Amino acid sequence: MSESNIQQNMGKPNDEIDIFEFSIRIWKAFINFLIGVRDFFISIIIFLIRKSLWIILFAGAGLMLGKLFYGVSKPVYSSSLEGNTGGLDNTVVIDHVNKLNQLSGKPALLAGYLNISEEQAKAINSVKAYYGIDINKDEKPDFVDFKETYNPKDTNQIRVPSYIYLKVTVYDETILPILRKSVLQYINNSPYLQELFKISRRHKAEMIQEITTEIAKIDSLQRSRFRKGINAETLQMFYLNNEPGLQLFHYDVLNLYARKQALERELEISDEIITVVQDFMPLSQEVTSASEYMLIFSGSMAVVGIFCALLWQYRKRLWALIKEDSSNRQ
């Protein structure tokens, strides 16, 4: 290479990026960022230590306010009941019950629907029904959707179609037996639900009769096979266009008997729209206890104390900014 070419190349700007140097710069920037985050949290800790007296005083005031608020407020108790709607779709029953919850705070209307006195209705805070959620896919509820987090798009969760969970909150525990009786009567006396329940029972009775007929047919085919020696092809024509051969007749009969007994059991147990599986607990749970009130108020007041400490620390700067802003407006 000639001397002129070397000088020409040395005079060109270096367009290539030094990867190693660039990586070092990125690493240093990242270290500086971590140091800044560390210093930020250290400054917060130091500030909290310095202003601990403010925080303690405000938190203590919150404890007293929480205790006072709990003393003057009405205690709220909750209890739940598990029921079974049998063959009736629980969706219509749950929607029917949840209409009562829309009457919360309207004791006169609620008393009319539940057929109780207005004074008794005033002791009721809420009445709501919930679904049971099946995760194991065994047609049994694994948990109750009290938080209403069910997502229809989530195929791992299925609403059990026959279970219903009533959750009530009341101001007086002694109202629970009256409320239980009134809500169950409200459900069982609904004309619409009664009609659906009658249809469901009629369909079950018809299904039992149909199963009984099918069992008789299969029994007749079995006896005919042993008496006349009918071949398997002929028997399969009589057996409801199904695939199983003669050796499966025994299992088919057992399955039909099991289905028939399940339907008969449902008819015998569920003579009303809703059958109580687990009743309201006599000693219901208090929704918000005194300790919870005190914890909530104490935490809230501690945050207020931190905010007040900030205002006090930077009061001169804030006052100067306010004065400057007011003078600019003038």
- Whether residues 165 and 282 share a domain: the answer is yes
Whether residue 186 lies inside any domain: the answer is: yes
* Torsion sign across C-alpha atoms 146, 150, 156, 161: positive
pLDDT band at 303 (very low <50, low <70, confident <90, very high): confident
148 Cβ partners below 8 Å, 6+ apart? Answer: 130
> What does the alpha-carbon distance between residue 170 and residue 126 come to, in Å, rounded to a whole number?
7
> What does the alpha-carbon distance between residue 75 and residue 125 come to, in Å, rounded to a whole number?
11
- Whether residues 160 and 280 share a domain: the answer is yes
Whether residue 6 lies inside any domain: the answer is: no
* Torsion sign across C-alpha atoms 183, 187, 191, 194: negative
Query: What's the chain's average pLDDT?
Result: 79
pLDDT band at 244 (very low <50, low <70, confident <90, very high): very low
> What does the alpha-carbon distance between residue 272 and residue 196 come to, in Å, rounded to a whole number?
12
Helices (H), the chain: 3-10, 19-50, 52-72, 90-101, 107-114, 118-122, 176-188, 191-228, 232-238, 249-269, 290-313, 315-329
Percent of the chain with pLDDT over 90: 7
**Residue 221 structural domain:** 198-269
- Structure tokens given for 181: 């009786």
Q: Any idea which residue has 């029917």 for tokens?
A: 96
- Whether residues 101 and 165 share a domain: the answer is yes
- Structure tokens given for 218: 């299969």
Give the closest residue to 279 by CA, choosing from 187, 165, 195: 165
- Whether residues 131 and 280 share a domain: the answer is yes
> What does the alpha-carbon distance between residue 57 and residue 79 come to, in Å, rounded to a whole number?
37
Whether residue 265 lies inside any domain: the answer is: yes
pLDDT higher than 80, residue 19: no
> What does the alpha-carbon distance between residue 267 and residue 256 come to, in Å, rounded to a whole number?
17
> What does the alpha-carbon distance between residue 276 and residue 166 come to, in Å, rounded to a whole number?
10
- Whether residues 112 and 177 share a domain: the answer is yes
**β-sheet bridge partners, residue 129:** 166
pLDDT higher than 50, residue 21: yes
> What does the alpha-carbon distance between residue 28 and residue 22 come to, in Å, rounded to a whole number?
10
Mean of pLDDT values over 107-115: 90
For residue 228, the Cα-to-chain-centroid distance in whole angstroms is 61
- Whether residues 155 and 222 share a domain: the answer is no
**Span 195-239, pLDDT tens digits:** 888 888 888 888 888 888 888 877 777 676 655 555 555 545 544
> What does the alpha-carbon distance between residue 45 and residue 223 come to, in Å, rounded to a whole number?
89
* Burial of 65 per CB tally in 10 Å (0-12, 13-18, 19+): middle
Mean of pLDDT values over 286-305: 81
Total domains, the chain? 3
Q: What is the CATH number of the domain that holds 101?
A: 3.30.70
- Whether residues 108 and 250 share a domain: the answer is no
pLDDT higher than 50, residue 1: no
pLDDT higher than 50, residue 270: yes
- Whether residues 82 and 103 share a domain: the answer is yes
259 Cβ partners below 8 Å, 6+ apart? Answer: 211
- Whether residues 121 and 160 share a domain: the answer is yes
- Whether residues 80 and 148 share a domain: the answer is yes
**Span 112-154, pLDDT tens digits:** 999 999 999 999 989 999 999 888 877 788 888 888 888 888 8
Half-sphere exposure of 207 (CA within 13 A, CB side): 18
**Span 272-287, pLDDT tens digits:** 788 888 888 765 666 6
**β-sheet bridge partners, residue 282:** none
Whether residue 4 lies inside any domain: the answer is: no
Q: Any idea which residue has 């002694």 for tokens?
A: 174
- Structure tokens given for 23: 């990586």
For residue 1, the Cα-to-chain-centroid distance in whole angstroms is 80
Phi/psi zone of residue 148: left (φ > 0), alpha (ψ -120 to 50 degrees), beta? left
Beta carbons of 125 and 171 less than 8 angstroms apart = yes
- Whether residues 297 and 209 share a domain: the answer is no
pLDDT band at 268 (very low <50, low <70, confident <90, very high): confident
Whether residue 210 lies inside any domain: the answer is: yes
Whether residue 58 lies inside any domain: the answer is: yes
Whether residue 144 lies inside any domain: the answer is: yes
- Structure tokens given for 231: 């071949």
- Whether residues 110 and 143 share a domain: the answer is yes
pLDDT higher than 50, residue 111: yes
Whether residue 236 lies inside any domain: the answer is: yes
**Span 59-84, pLDDT tens digits:** 888 888 888 877 777 788 888 899 88
pLDDT higher than 80, residue 192: yes
pLDDT band at 165 (very low <50, low <70, confident <90, very high): very high
